[in-house]
Amino acid sequence: MLCGPLVLAELTRPESLRLLDQVSIGRIVYTMRALPAIVPVCHLVDNGMVVVRTHIGAECAGSVVAYQADELVAVNGGAGGWTVTVTGVARRVLDPDELAGYEQRLRPLVAAEGVETIRIYPEIVTGYRLSSTTTV
């Protein structure tokens, strides 16, 4: 069942990153052979940057990627929540001390070979709070 049109309220960059830090799973969007690819991953926000540990790191490193996470809910026939999208360049984390810290704090969502730690340097951060146009 569709919940109908929602009202969007734009969020500030700090509020968007704060909300993003409150959830642990999102989607990274990158290109593979010139086509878009989307993979769910776990993340954390560290000093305003998004960090993920994933098996697709080689495909992302050095590229412009988008990262999106949200918290959407349906309540009493209405809907609400928020959505945040971060766009920027993804770079491998190579410093051994940083890698060790991220490995302790962040587990990859998918158990796979070749997991790498990727840091996304946000150029564009967009966030929206969504609310239902209907009241119950």
DSSP string, 98-109: HHHHHHHH---S
What does pTM read for this prediction?
Answer: 0.88
All structural domains of the chain with their residue ranges = 13-71+86-124
Find how far residue 60's CA is from the centre of its chain: 14
Cα maximum dimension of the chain:
53
Mean pLDDT by 10 residues, the chain (136 residues): 72 97 96 92 96 90 96 73 96 96 92 91 96 62
Architecture of domain 13-71+86-124: Roll (2.30)
**pLDDT for residue 6:** 77
